């Protein structure tokens, strides 16, 4: 197992993790059976790839912020905060989405990454956030519960939870 040089933290997408990001995402494309074609242009202009993901973007029809979970040159995963809900996101998707690169899973990273994401959500002015997951996604359900998720009504088979973000120190 690789020893990380420092505790991972959420940062805006950065070219500092180029090799680790491309390697991890390519491996996950193979594992998931997804096309890795998008990695070609990302590899050629990685700073452009990262820059296009920084700042407030419009995704899912709402203002959104993308963070990468990073330790030194290592990229471990991505967390997205949607600043608002649409009727669709209120059913599935919620305010916060995340994934950890397969090679880094089952080490508590997603649990800690969401904890950091809740701080960022508070900075964005969100006093409470909605998280959803499919009933089959036990790891994600555990991540949400470990961060204080309070169950709400299940809609369209999607488990839904609210988490109060803590006031900033």
Ligand X SMILES: CC(C)(COP(=O)(O)OP(=O)(O)OC[C@H]1O[C@@H](n2cnc3c(N)ncnc32)[C@H](O)[C@@H]1OP(=O)(O)O)[C@@H](O)C(=O)NCCC(=O)NCCS
Minimum CB distance to ligand X smaller for 25 or for 51: 25
Q: Is 55 exposed, middle or buried (0-12, 13-18, 19+ CB in 10 A)?
A: exposed
CB 151 to ligand X: min, Å = 14
Minimum CB distance to ligand X smaller for 20 or for 140: 140
Minimum CB distance to ligand X smaller for 21 or for 98: 98
Which residues are near ligand X by CB under 6 A? 97-100, 105-111, 133, 137-140, 142-143, 146
Minimum CB distance to ligand X smaller for 90 or for 146: 146
Distance CA(82)–CA(62), nearest Å, equals: 7
Q: What is the DSSP string of 62-126?
A: EEEEEEEEEETTEEEEEEEEESS--HHHHHTT-SEEEEE-GGG-SSSHHHHHHHHHHHHHHHTT-
Q: Which residue's C-beta sits nearest to ligand X?
A: 110
Q: Are 71 and 101 in contact (CB under 8 A)?
A: no
CB 128 to ligand X: min, Å = 17
For 62, phi then psi, to 5°, come to -140, 160
CB 101 to ligand X: min, Å = 8
CB 106 to ligand X: min, Å = 5
CB 45 to ligand X: min, Å = 26
Measure the N-to-C terminal CA separation of the chain; round to a whole number of Å: 34
């Amino acid at each position: 197992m690789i020893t990380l040089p420092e505790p991972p933290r959420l940062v805006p997408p950065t070219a500092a993790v180029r090799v680790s990001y491309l390697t991890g995402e390519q491996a996950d494309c193979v594992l998931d059976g997804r096309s890795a074609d998008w990695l070609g242009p990302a590899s050629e202009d990685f700073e452009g790839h990262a820059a296009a993901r920084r700042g407030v973007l419009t995704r899912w029809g709402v203002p959104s912020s993308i963070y990468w979970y990073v330790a030194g040159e290592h990229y471990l995963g991505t967390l997205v905060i949607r600043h608002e809900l649409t009727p669709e996101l209120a059913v599935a998707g919620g305010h916060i989405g995340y994934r950890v690169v397969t090679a880094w899973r089952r080490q508590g990273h997603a649990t800690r990454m969401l904890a950091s994401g809740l701080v960022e959500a508070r900075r964005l002015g969100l006093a409470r956030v909605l998280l959803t997951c499919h009933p089959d996604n036990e790891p994600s359900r555990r991540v949400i519960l470990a961060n204080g998720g309070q169950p709400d009504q299940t809609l369209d088979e999607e488990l839904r939870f609210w988490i109060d973000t803590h006031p900033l120190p």
